């Protein structure tokens, strides 16, 4: 597997794990009727996401150092460009939903909805990158 595909897998799995944990606690606090502040949990999640990704990327780079150092070529760029487009469309649609939610939910729920949209768009982007490497462009 190419280093950049491995990188996309690492990022996808890290995104899924971190945000699944985040929204598990968000759902639990909702069920218990407690407030779920966005500041602390989201900062913690972003830090966890960065740490997990950096550590796993270092491990992957040690396993194939020459590939890790190689610059992106035209195929890598094309795959990333297409994935960016898909991720951006997902984010636009999601953010329209967040904007519409202002009429129905409080600001904390809305903020968490925005976090959810960002997480889904990010996962979609990495998924599209993997799809591009697997299926071809």
Partner 1 sequence: MGRPPPRITNQIRKLRFEHGEMTQQALADAIGVTRQTIIAIEQGKYSPTLEAAFRIAAAFGVPLENVFQFTEEK
The CB-of-74 to partner 1 minimum distance in angstroms stands at 5
**Distance, first Cα to last Cα, the chain:** 16
Cβ distance to partner 1 smaller for residue 126 or 133: 133
Return the closest-CA partner of residue 26 out of 126, 114, 97.
114
Cβ distance to partner 1 smaller for residue 34 or 66: 66
Cβ distance to partner 1 smaller for residue 5 or 44: 5
Site residues (vs partner 1, CB under 8 A): 2, 67, 70, 73-76, 78, 133, 135-137
Q: Residue 86 and residue 6: Cα distance in Å, rounded?
A: 20
Cβ distance to partner 1 smaller for residue 107 or 134: 134
Cβ distance to partner 1 smaller for residue 78 or 106: 78
Residue 38, SS3 per DSSP: coil
The CB-of-77 to partner 1 minimum distance in angstroms stands at 10
The CB-of-17 to partner 1 minimum distance in angstroms stands at 26
Residue 11, SS3 per DSSP: helix
The CB-of-69 to partner 1 minimum distance in angstroms stands at 11
Total H helices, total E strands in the chain? 5, 0
Q: Residue 27 and residue 8: Cα distance in Å, rounded?
A: 28
The CB-of-134 to partner 1 minimum distance in angstroms stands at 9
Q: Which two tokens stand for residue 89?
A: 């469309």
């Amino acid at each position: 597997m190419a280093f950049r595909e491995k990188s996309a897998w690492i990022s996808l799995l890290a995104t899924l794990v971190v945000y699944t944990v985040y929204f598990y606690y968000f759902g639990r606090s909702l069920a218990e009727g407690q407030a779920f502040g966005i500041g602390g949990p989201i900062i913690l999640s972003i830090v966890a996401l960065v740490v997990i990704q950096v550590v796993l990327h270092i491990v992957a780079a040690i396993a194939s150092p020459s590939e890790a150092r190689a610059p992106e070529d035209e195929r890598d760029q094309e795959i990333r460009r297409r994935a960016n487009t898909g991720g951006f469309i997902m984010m636009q649609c999601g953010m329209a939903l967040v904007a519409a939610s202002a009429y129905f939910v409080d600001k904390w729920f809305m903020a968490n909805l925005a976090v959810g949209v960002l997480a889904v768009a990010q996962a979609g982007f990495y998924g599209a990158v993997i799809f591009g490497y697997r299926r071809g462009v």
